[in-house]
Chain A
Amino acid sequence: MESVSNNYEEKNGIPHLTNEKLLIKGGRVVNEDQSLYADVYIEDGIIKQVGENLVVPGGVKVIEADGRMVIPGGIDVNTCLMKPFLGIKPVDDFLQGTKAALAGGTTMIIDHVTPQPGDSLMEVFEHWQEAADKKACCDYSLHVDIPEWNETVKHELELLVEEKGINSFQVYMAYKDLYQMSDSQLYKAFSFLKHLGAVVLVHAENGDLIAQEQRKILGMGITGPEGHPLSRPEELEAEAAFRAITLSNRVNCPVYITKVMSKSAADTITQARRKGSLVFGEPISASLAADGSQYWSKNWAKAAAYVTSPPLSPDPTTPDHLHTLLACGDLQVVGSAHCAYSTSQKAIGKDDFTLIPEGTNGVEERMSIVWDKSVAMGKMDENQFVAVTSTNAAKIFNLYPRKGRIAVGSDADIVIWDPDSVKTISARLQQSASEYNIFEGLECCGGPALVLSQGRVVYEDGNLQAHPGTGRFIPRKPFPDFAYQRVKFRNQGKQGVTRGMYDGPVHDVACTPKYITPSPSARTSPTSNQPPPIRNLHQSNFSLSGAQADDNVPRRSGHRIVAPPGGRSNITSLG
């Protein structure tokens, strides 16, 4: 059994919240790389020993796992528990949301801090942290969304990375005139975030085209929720994903596509990965288990419950395709994008689909859905299940091996998973406060039998014993190896060709240049954060080699192009 030497708890000086000593006996420990039978001994919220025949102090509470799977608690990388929309907040706050998470076997969430343009990122972040510290029942961390791009934002990003332990930031390619950034801004943001060692999250949809389509659809008199997917066809998602990947290739930084909702977007990511791009894709509970046909439901409230962006694809084969890609590793992480609004909140958009608050549930159902549709279907093994629900997220966001692994020294966020339990998802039984559950009626095989968060039993046999305020903020360091190791190797310079000065004739240029590319000014513009140039041979099929073999060989027969004597001039007789 391997051992992890560093104890995070001590290192980070985080007070432990429990003194419970626990022994999980007779379970099969499943990590992303292997499964083995072992007992797990937990003390002070930390895994102290893993192995057989452990020597443990007396008076230890023993949990009999009876050969069931013991897996690292899930990490839900995408929740929006406080995302404001037109002055309203989702019905599931940190309390409700984390309770739902625990009930589903997820022991850590990473929530999106969503400042509005003009807000101070730092203030909004602190507001989020304060709310979460009071209410969260499980450990949490935060992504910060970047609603605009300017010097203040840059300064705040630096502070957030250096002082607050944030290493992931989301940018938007949609929401025109609100959050959307232009390609130039994205390029600058990517460059800057790379320099900070952060992971760039992208909401990939082409906002310009969406705005046009929305106008068109509304003009036709389509105001119901079906207008939502009609105005956001999946092509626009694929286009934006493609563009985001192109940008990340140019800048040589890792990019993480949040909410992969369609086959075409997923395929775009897959193809880019084949070419060596550093891209991660995150399908969510909704795209893995539901499709967009319900947007055409006659029941407005039901149709509106499915509204999220990018929308669920009306193609019913989408969930299956996404599971396949998840199983083979082309998509890496499963989130939930849990953002629950009540029907009366959704009804803000009753006469105009563009005003319907966007968000679906999924934090509670996430792990069961992946188990049921991937593992129980034979697409994925239990180790890959652990990878996509927990370990990969921990690696990408630099939480590994503190989270996402059952090993000595890791946090005691552990789930005993029952692969045989069958549960029918229903809004009646859910933890979330919303009236609708988009997976209503779905029978899911597999669920948590017991959940440990920070070494304490918080869920057992259907009973939740969560305590608000026990969740800790988990800071994350920049430059996660999983994303940045390759970047470092790809940072290699290009050089110009050394030539003599051209001293031949130069055509006079009219004094008011008309046809110019915007370089003269660009030349003096601040470029402090320009990354060094990259040459990723892996994906560009760019394979030139500087000087050409024929440079000194005159190509035309009988025409004089010779190496200039003494290199004084490169232009020789042209005639």
Chain B
Amino acid sequence: MSYQGKKNIPKITSDRLLIKGGRIVNDDQSFHADIYMEDGLIKQIGDNLIVPGGVKVIEAQGKMVIPGGIDIHTHFQMPYRGTTTVDDFAQGSKAALAGGTTMVVDHVIPDPGNSLLEAYDQWRQWADEKACCDYSLHVDITHWSDSVQQELECLIKEKGVNSFQVYMAYKDYYQMTNSELYEVFTFLAERGGIAQVHAENGEIIAEEQARMLQMGITGPEGHVLSRPEELEAEAVFRAITIASQTNCPLYVTRVMSKSAADIISQARKKGNVVFGEPITASLGTDGTHYWSKNWAKAASFVTSPPLSPDPTTPDYLNTLLSSGDLSVTGSAHCTFSVAQKAIGKDDFTQIPEGVNGVEERMALIWDKAVTSGKMDENMFVAVTSTNAAKILNLYPRKGRIAVGSDADLVIWDTDSIRTITAKTHNSAAEYNIFEGMELRGAPLVVICQGKIVLEDGNLHATSGVGRFIPCSAFPDFAYKRVKARKQLAVLKAVPRGMYDGPVSEYSMSRGGTPSASARTSPTKQPVRNLHQSGFSLAGPPAPDDIPIRPAGRRIVVPPGGQQERGRTWSCMGHINSGDVIHDPFQPPLKLDNSNIYGITTAVLVVDALICTVRTPTRRHHLPSEQPLMWKKCCLSVAHEAEEGLCLLDDLANAADRIL
């Protein structure tokens, strides 16, 4: 299929290109084939292609041909206190192309109180004027109100934005309370958005900053001292908790420290839908430079969360990226000149935050992860391009070399060695935080929108050709699992008779939990993710109707309570082979290998209408439809979307046999 035709995007090129003799590397496989491109799209892939005459042929000579990189996090032309970052969309996207990145996703940051839509339009205008490559936008939610909700609705439905960042730091400015985060996440989960968080505990940071300044620490080292990595980890933990309560996919921007990465990795193991984004800086360098005697150098490393002073951090993050615990890479490219950084020369809290990285991103990952043997070339494509495309719902238009995809691709030279220096980089900043680093691996040819933009070391970028690529809601990569879990969210009250015993006198004058008013407020579909809650209950069937304390006191058994018994299964514990299920109205059912085939453990919670079946490797949830019956279980399995097919049929059969 052709996106170009479908979405009515004007043709921007009629170049015809043939890449001969390359090895195509996608995130799932590598193979030798030629690629024919026309009108900015990949038209044919294969051997011995039949192509029209007059086609420009690029000889790849067996080199890797990969999907162009997608930098999922940039801040080009970002306004800051009356000035803007030194790399505008032209400069920034040029640097991106030079590094093999053919698409960027920039953050729209409205000032608190201002309209999100206006800010969005402003960013669109800037980018449309200048961008040299395709782009898309995240919108940051800097305050929370009804009008913001309406604007978000519009951004998702009409403007092609599906990811929104909220802040847990920047107290009294961008920071949101836990309740607001809960509401934002709930809102986004209903509308298919991705919640991105800047995860740092802003309240503690504010306290620590005050303390550092009071102690007379005003230089850039105060930045990292006041923002220790624990505060990042704490906020990540909290964000994951809230996301899991609201059943919203979570995306943690800028994973800078080992502890934050560990939290993400643990949460993923518990089944949370969470993505972590390390950035070029955290993958390539560490925070020891904050103690540099050269103020300007130290200040150039200032970004938030800060680089960790632990020098083993980059290696560790590259490992987690290789294992899939961290999902995508951005650059958080946000460059300020030394004069701009010097706004904070007497007070580190005033130093504008941001580092470079859009140009170095791909080469750095190749050097640190692939040449070191941590990651293979397919994973390299996944973390630099494909996963980002999936999260943004742009796959397979972007992030893959396939017929019908955009002709954004890169011929990657695995052997070239370059030394990074501010002298030759494409950014306008005076410092490069990777100065002096020798990186193996670099783009040889970059093709963007079907045109050659980098060849023989020469960059031919054209300002203004970059198109806005709209992202649609409910990306499968994040939402398949979320949708499945929503179906499990069948919470039901326990049917009891009315309590009609004595009630103590009490006064509502003071205290109480905030429920009275809460009751009338709007509510949403609840979510109960058994996958990670550890909730698997339940004790032995307890006799509910035994009078407990006759000693002269009145204990009220709810009327009808006794008759209700037997209609439901009170509770069942873990089920193993050999167990017998007792139903008052059914003959006892003995479980053995014939009826629990494929299942080692099942936990059945009938009062809560949820049945969990565990296989040796993972858990699946079967919501039952009626209180007393497992007989008609509709099987809905929260399986890992990216894992593809699983043994659903086997499980379904097994479940049917039990039920």
Contact = CB atoms under 8 A, between A and B. Distances in A.
A499 interface: yes
A303 B494 contact: yes
B50 interface: no
A506 B345 contact: yes
A298 B565 contact: yes
Contact of A296 (B339, B538, B551): B538
Given A299-B496, A502-B345, 6 more contacts: A496-B218, A501-B345, A510-B82, A515-B173, A518-B173, A552-B293
Nearest to A501: B345
Contacts of B213: 519, 522-523
B291 A546 contact: yes
A383 interface: no
Interface of A: 84-88, 116, 175-178, 182-184, 187-188, 206, 208-209, 211-224, 226-227, 230, 233-236, 238-239, 242-243, 246-247, 249-250, 262-264, 291-294, 296-303, 313-316, 342-345, 347-348, 350, 352, 354-355, 427-428, 435-437, 440, 493-497, 499-502, 504-510, 513-520, 522-523, 525, 527, 530, 533, 540-548, 551-552, 555-559, 561, 563, 570-571, 574-575
B210 A211 contact: no
Contacts of A233: 245, 533, 535
Which among B177, B211, B347 has the greatest number of chain A C-beta atoms within 10 A?
A: B211
Contacts of A435: 548-549, 553, 555
Nearest to A91: B504
A221 B490 CA distance: 12
Given A206-B241, A343-B556, A547-B291, A301 B539 contact: no
B177 A208 contact: yes
A495 B81 CA distance: 30
Contacts of B513: 175-176, 178, 211, 214, 354-355
B654 interface: no
B26 interface: no
Contact of B539 (A316, A354, A496, A547): A316
Interface stretch (B17-25, B382-390, B419-427, B464-472): B419-427
A212 B217 contact: no
B588 to A, nearest CB: 21
Given A242-B237, A515-B81, A87 B505 contact: yes
A297 B493 CA distance: 11
B585 interface: no
A508 to B, nearest CB: 7
Contact of A292 (B430, B523, B537): B537
Interface of B: 80-83, 111, 170-173, 177-179, 182-183, 201, 203-219, 221-222, 225, 228-231, 233-234, 237-238, 241-242, 244-245, 258-259, 287-289, 291-298, 308-311, 337-340, 342-343, 345, 347, 349-350, 352, 419, 421-423, 430, 432, 435-436, 491-499, 501-516, 518-519, 521-524, 526, 528, 532-539, 542, 544-545, 548-551, 553, 555-558, 561, 564-565, 571, 573, 607-608
16 contacts: A178-B513, A219-B518, A223-B493, A230-B528, A242-B234, A263-B534, A343-B555, A435-B549, A506-B345, A517-B349, A519-B206, A540-B230, A542-B308, A544-B288, A548-B289, A557-B421
B493 A224 contact: yes
Contacts of B205: 517
Contacts, number: 422
B310 A533 contact: no
A218 B515 contact: yes
A496 B223 CA distance: 11
Given A496-B221, A525-B210, A556 B539 contact: no
B171 A182 contact: no
Contacts of A226: 493-494, 607-608
B294 A561 contact: yes
Contacts of B350: 516-517, 519
Contacts of A221: 493
B521 A208 contact: no
Contacts of A436: 548-549
B231 A246 contact: yes
A350 B564 CA distance: 19
B287 to A, nearest CB: 7
A535 to B, nearest CB: 9
B295 A499 contact: yes
B218 A316 contact: no
